Amino acid sequence: MKAMLRAAAVIGALTAVLVGCGSPARSVESPSSAPPPPNWYVSPRPVAIAVDDVDPCTLIRKDQYQKYDILGGSYIPVHETGWVHGPLCFWVSTYNHQGSDSYTSRVVTDHGIEYALNDQEPYRIIEGYAAQPLVSPGSDPSHWCGMMVDIAPGRALSASYDDGLEASQKLGIGRKQVCDKAAEMAKDMILNLRAQRHQ
């Protein structure tokens, strides 16, 4: 129950704002009010992959659940008015108690990575795709990290990891570690999507 409440808070924040670490939080009511930064650039994609009809819960295979210590994902068709839209899958730890960690996988259907780029935290390259680390208002960056992957023009994949520790009670595992965990899930999402699309 605790994990689900934390997930609801993070999912709500994600639908309203996704920003790079160190940048001021930016709340955007509609995509048209959030133009991409001028002259933005990321490394070219190996191949653009269509994602509009993809269920994010299928982007992690059942034989990979043990790798992440997760149970089956819960599909959430998120369509709020925030500037990032698309279905989300919430993955809870097999421990399922206070302090347990969690992941999300998401298909972003109305924006590309350019809306998350910033000069505070550089993007990574995951399986040849640019991936921008994210922070979320209300979440401590040492406890939570999102990774937004430039999968196609105006489209993205997003993975996030939450270490499940209460910021007021315990130190987080650290920014690098939470982002590495989000990046690992993003990597598997990319590989599984390419396999599904035979690309």
Contact assessment for residue 45 and residue 149, using Cβ atoms and an 8 Å cutoff: no
Contact assessment for residue 157 and residue 151, using Cβ atoms and an 8 Å cutoff: yes
Per-residue pLDDT tens for 117-143? 888 899 999 999 999 999 988 888 999
Map residue 73 onto helix, strand or coil: coil
Per-residue pLDDT tens for 16-73? 334 333 333 332 223 334 555 656 678 899 999 999 899 999 999 999 999 999 988 8
Average pLDDT across the chain, whole number: 79
DSSP 10: H
Ordered by start, the domain boundaries in the chain are: 2-20+43-197
Helix (H) or strand (E) holding 151: strand 144-152
Contact assessment for residue 113 and residue 148, using Cβ atoms and an 8 Å cutoff: yes
Structure tokens at 126: 């995951």
DSSP 126: E
Structure tokens at 189: 């999402």
Q: What pLDDT is recorded for position 39?
A: 62
DSSP 86: S
Contact assessment for residue 153 and residue 171, using Cβ atoms and an 8 Å cutoff: no
- Taking the C-alpha atoms of residue 20 and residue 179, their distance in angstroms, rounded to an integer, is 12
Taking the complete model, does pTM exceed 0.75, yes or no? Answer: yes
